[in-house]
Chains A and B, each alone.
Chain A
Amino acid sequence: MDPVLLARFQFAMTVGFHFIFPPLTIGIAWMLVIFEGIGWKKNNAVYTEIGKFFGKILGLIFAVGVATGIVMEFQFGTNWAEYSKFVGDIFGAPLAAEGLFAFFLESTFLGLYIFGRDKVSKGVHWFSIFMVAVGSTISAFWILVANSWQQTPAGFILRNGRAELTDFWTAVFNPSTLPRFFHTLDAALIAGAFFVAGVSAYLILKNKGVQVAKTALRVAVVFGLIVSLLEVFPFGHEHAKQVAETQPEKFAATQGLYTTQEGAPAAIFAFPTNHPPKLLFPIEIPGVLSWLAFGDSKAVIKGINAFPPDEVPPLFLTFVSYHNMVILGMYFIFIMAVAAFFLYKKTLFDKKLLLRIFVWSIPLPVIATQLGWIAAEVGRQPWIVYGLLKTKDAVSFTVGTGELIFSIILFGLIYLLLGSVFLVLLIKKIKTGPDTIVKEA
């Protein structure tokens, strides 16, 4: 078997599994900042109870995120040694900065938040969850700096057979860092909103801790509607515009645009094939893609045929994951808008079907983040650092096929076990509901 393919498979599996947890951590942490803040400032026991309940769940999610994150810090060295040598001068700095400025902050203050409720003042306790949220957000920033540099490298010079840093801030704020950061951070907030909304909807349906759950759902719907709208416009739109400009091959692949054309259409739905190269059963809106990407419905957009065949990404996966992500993004707005409408009409808690939809929607934002990540990473192929280093030249040549198969099976089994135990414990914790029934505050 091809060792490059195996190494890629292992990386995709370990990052994919890890990436389930950080967005939930970030999203839930920021929601807790709101809940605990109101609980503290207004001395409101209902909000504090929401904080206690989701705080425990956050602890569980964070633990699995940490456990799977350790692998990531070392995997560049173990499996991508040539990559590490090539980019070490630049890529290591954001990882170290993530540890120093972010991971220390969230880990240390999460301990204080979970175990310190009765040991510190209410203000300090609120500050601890605020630091967890800030830390997890800074963490996302530095990791996305590293990832963005792979997509749109900047601030370096090729010297001594590697990329050497020339300007730190240019490397940090390379062309795709900010669009990617806002887009991904907001996706995490959506994941948090849907998690809180789904769990609260479940509790209302099962008539457990209803008072706590209703309050949490109200906040989650308002918060969720805002962040879902922001995700499409401006964040998604800006990110797409940036990709169109900086990585035209990837943009063409996500849109299924085979030939360069003026006034390119946006494909809403299609089934892309490579042989022959075209979209089957397309539903397209003429001129819209050109207008979205460059603000001009007549603008020329490069198609896949404009690039050398060995420098274009795999089409099917890029197109399908991108489009499903967009569909999910629209769905999030729709559901939150409907819920907000009924919340305004004061009938939300009677809409059993909608509540049930919320319960089943809990995993959807996580799936959307995974799809977005697939579109971004597969869309960058065959490059590991866009335009500089190909993925096939980046692996550890000293690691053999046998070792790779062993570690893939090992991590596959471990993650299967962790994932199952996590789900069982999470569902059990949710079913138990908030600890105490609180009287009207």
Chain B
Amino acid sequence: MDLNIIWFLLVGVLVIGYAILDGFDLGVGVIQLFTKNENERRVNINSIGPVWDGNEVWLLTGGGALFAAFPIVYATVFSGFYLAFMLLLTFLIFRAVSFEFRKYSETAKAKQIWDYSFAIGSLGPALLYGVAIGNIMRGVPIQIIEGKIVNEISFLGLLNPYALLIGILSLVMFTMHGAIYLTMKTEDKQRHKLIKWANSLWIALVVLYFVSTVATMFAAPFLFVGILKNPIFWVLFILLLASFIYVPVALKSGKFGHAFIASSTLISMMIGLFALSLFPRLVPSSVDLNLHSLTIYNASSSQTTLETMLIIALIGVPLVLIYTIFVYRVFRGPVKITKESY
């Protein structure tokens, strides 16, 4: 295994870490949109209040790691998807300020405005991440001409039906994940409602995942080439199936922590399967898959940088995990509203 592959895996770990952790924050945000009761809204926002900030850092670190390990991808995709990125940043900005702004707003009307800011600021990214993944799966119109990367990406071209389907898939996935997270943080009536929502979202997700897989066979058949012969595929696929099945079982028997682990596994496996079918490409070219795609080799940093960054990651990631787990343990259990709450 060379350094480029290790970094492919590490970027994958950061993406999965982000999807699991900030994923439920986004989901809670979407649920806020459908929560009418002010007390329930407060519980929702406080369920992620102390932790969402640290969760979002996974995104920033992932961005930094992509820049460091695969700068050509960072530069090409981010400048190519320019308007989509500006839109994403707008959503993320409004979500980030909504917590504190809500807390210090006094009127019910102002609080409601920041609730919407929180909800829309979460719904937007949950959808856009899927749209981005969908566009990458079907290939991006890039060409490598004399070592320079030329692209013909248009904003409207990004909003094709296939990518939108994957966008809805990710929106439903994160919302379900958020609902399951909230079952651990709520009590009584609110919890019952969330169990019901989580179950409905689960059904929608099963249907959407099936439809998306079929659609992908048509939109990006190259992703399936030789995959059935790969043992890693079968490991990921079986884990995906198992976690899919276990989610409603755990919800039914009131094991909410287990349901959350299952839904986290489910997300990890979906991303894992996506990464596996992409490998060793990072951005497939829709012009010519073999000639013009960005791969972990032609888009990477030098070996010296990959090696240095690996040392940084090996020191940094365990540290982060240790204190993140510590802080989650402090705030475990259902939300209790206090004077310090949002």
Q: Which residue numbers of A lie inside 8 Å of B, CB to CB?
A: 59-60, 63-64, 66-71, 73-74, 76-79, 81-82, 84-85, 87-93, 95-101, 103-105, 107-112, 114-120, 131, 159, 161, 164-166, 168, 396, 398-399, 403, 406-407, 410-411, 414, 418, 421-422, 425, 428-429
Q: Is B249 an interface residue (CB 8 A)?
A: no
Q: Is B69 an interface residue (CB 8 A)?
A: yes
A115 and B64: CB pair below 8 A?
A: no
Q: Is B97 an interface residue (CB 8 A)?
A: yes
A399 and B64: CB pair below 8 A?
A: no
Q: Supply 12 A–B pairs (Cβ within 8 Å), ascending by A.
A: A66-B96, A71-B89, A76-B74, A88-B74, A92-B64, A100-B61, A100-B312, A107-B53, A116-B330, A161-B147, A165-B305, A399-B79
Q: Is B92 an interface residue (CB 8 A)?
A: yes
A88 and B301: CB pair below 8 A?
A: yes
Known contacts A63-B97, A74-B78, A105-B323: does B50 contact A85 (CB below 8 Å)? no
Known contacts A88-B75, A120-B330: does B85 contact A78 (CB below 8 Å)? yes
Q: Is B71 an interface residue (CB 8 A)?
A: yes
Residue of A at shortest CB range from B55? A107
Known contacts A88-B68, A406-B83: does B305 contact A100 (CB below 8 Å)? no
B residues in contact with A120, CB < 8 Å: 330
A115 and B331: CB pair below 8 A?
A: yes
A99 and B105: CB pair below 8 A?
A: no
A residues in contact with B97, CB < 8 Å: 63-64, 67, 418, 421-422
Known contacts A68-B93, A95-B67, A115-B331: does B76 contact A81 (CB below 8 Å)? yes
A425 and B147: CB pair below 8 A?
A: no
- Of the residues B50, B79, B82, contact of A112 by C-beta under 8 Å: B50
Q: Bits for B194-227, please: 1 = Cβ < 8 Å to A, else 0.
A: 0000000000000000000000000000000000
B302 and A164: CB pair below 8 A?
A: yes
A residues in contact with B66, CB < 8 Å: 92
Q: Which residue numbers of B lie inside 8 Å of A, CB to CB?
A: 49-51, 53-54, 56-57, 59-61, 63-69, 71-72, 74-80, 82-83, 85-86, 89-90, 92-94, 96-97, 99-101, 104-106, 147, 151, 153, 301-302, 304-305, 308-309, 312-313, 316-317, 319-320, 323-324, 327, 330-331, 338, 340-341
- Of the residues A77, A95, A428, contact of B78 by C-beta under 8 Å: A77
Q: For chain A, what secondary structure do more than half of its interface residues adopt (helix, strand, loop), or is it mixed?
A: helix
A residues in contact with B320, CB < 8 Å: 100, 104, 108
B93 and A96: CB pair below 8 A?
A: no
B residues in contact with A110, CB < 8 Å: 53
B71 and A97: CB pair below 8 A?
A: no
Nearest Cβ on chain B to A405's Cβ, whole angstroms = 12
A residues in contact with B68, CB < 8 Å: 88, 92-93, 95-96
- Of the residues A77, A99, A111, contact of B49 by C-beta under 8 Å: A111
Alpha-carbon gap, A404 to B257, bound state (A): 46
B89 and A70: CB pair below 8 A?
A: yes
Alpha-carbon gap, A348 to B302, bound state (A): 60
B308 and A168: CB pair below 8 A?
A: yes
B305 and A93: CB pair below 8 A?
A: yes
B residues in contact with A93, CB < 8 Å: 68, 305, 308-309, 312
Nearest Cβ on chain B to A43's Cβ, whole angstroms = 21
B54 and A111: CB pair below 8 A?
A: yes
Known contacts A74-B63, A88-B67, A396-B82: does B56 contact A66 (CB below 8 Å)? yes
Nearest Cβ on chain A to B332's Cβ, whole angstroms = 10
Residue of B at shortest CB range from A88? B71
- Of the residues A89, A104, A159, contact of B61 by C-beta under 8 Å: A104
Pick from A84, A110, A406 the residue with the most CB of B within 10 Å: A84
Nearest Cβ on chain B to A220's Cβ, whole angstroms = 23
Pick from B61, B147, B319 the residue with the most CB of A within 10 Å: B61
Alpha-carbon gap, A428 to B65, bound state (A): 40
Nearest Cβ on chain A to B331's Cβ, whole angstroms = 7
Alpha-carbon gap, A100 to B151, bound state (A): 32
Apart from the given pairs A99-B60, A164-B302, A428-B106, 13 other A-B contacts in the complex at a CB distance below 8 Å: A63-B100, A66-B56, A74-B63, A81-B75, A84-B74, A92-B64, A107-B56, A108-B51, A108-B327, A114-B50, A119-B330, A168-B308, A425-B101
B residues in contact with A78, CB < 8 Å: 78-79, 82, 85-86
A residues in contact with B74, CB < 8 Å: 76-77, 84, 88, 92
- Of the residues A89, A108, A111, A414, contact of B301 by C-beta under 8 Å: A89
Known contacts A93-B305, A421-B101: does B67 contact A76 (CB below 8 Å)? yes
A residues in contact with B54, CB < 8 Å: 104, 107-108, 111
Known contacts A92-B68, A93-B305: does B340 contact A114 (CB below 8 Å)? yes
Alpha-carbon gap, A406 to B83, bound state (A): 9
